[in-house]
Amino acid sequence: MAKIMQCDCGHVVRGETDDELVANVQRHAREVHDMEITREQVLAMARHE
């Protein structure tokens, strides 16, 4: 089941697996906000789509 995380900037990040979601969120955080986010932080904020 897909998971999503909505960034504070309003961008919604999706992933079919936890690994895909974490990679997508980490890439968004790095490229758009110049910040790092841990796997644990991503999964704590994620919810099922």
Tell me the whole-structure pTM to 2 decimals. 0.93
Question: What is the overall mean pLDDT for the chain?
Answer: 97
Any idea which residue has 């994620």 for tokens? 46
Q: What is the mean pLDDT of residues 10-15?
A: 97
Q: Cβ-count burial of 13 within 10 angstroms (0-12 exposed, 13-18 middle, 19+ buried)?
A: buried
- Give the pLDDT band of residue 12 (cuts 50, 70, 90): very high
Q: What is the mean pLDDT of residues 25-35?
A: 98
Q: What is the mean pLDDT of residues 19-37?
A: 98
Strands (E) across the chain are located at 3-6, 12-15, 47-48
Confidence (pLDDT) at 1: 82
Any idea which residue has 């904020």 for tokens? 45
